[in-house]
Amino acid sequence: MAHSLSAKKRIRQNTKRRAINRWRKGRFRKAITEYKETVLHGTVEDAQKQLSDLYGLLDKVAAAGTIHKNTASRYKSRLTAKLNEKRAPAA
């Protein structure tokens, strides 16, 4: 247990920050799940719109420091590849 005031404050700050980061991660993971479902069962246009929104969400989460920017980039690359796989038979 922390004894000094600064250590107690740091514990409070860490608790709040952890809750915010968990919320952000859950938010983009849920969005990714919905996007993958759309790629499987929806139209290419719907998936393209969701991918655009997902790009913005991943960039915001990375800018906030919840995930690393390269991790966000990797997610975007893999999600785009999934959409391109769906497009390939249509072309």
> How does DSSP assign 25-70, residue by residue?
HHHHHHHHHHHHHHHHHS-HHHHHHHHHHHHHHHHHHHHHTSS-HH
- Cβ atoms < 10 Å from Cβ of 47: 23
Which residue, among 20, 33, 32, has the nearest Cα to 64 in the 3D structure? 20
Residues 36-69: tens digit of each pLDDT: 999 999 999 999 999 999 999 999 999 999 999 9
Amino acid at 84: N
Instruction: Give the confidence band of 88 by pLDDT, cuts at 50, 70, 90.
Output: confident
Residues 66-84: tens digit of each pLDDT: 999 999 999 999 999 999 9
- CB of 51 closer than 8 Å to CB of 80: yes
**91 by DSSP, 3-state: which?**
coil
Q: Which two tokens stand for residue 84?
A: 């391109």
CATH entry 1.20.58.110 includes domain 5-90: yes
Residue boundaries of the structural domains of the chain: 5-90
Return the pLDDT at 91.
Answer: 55
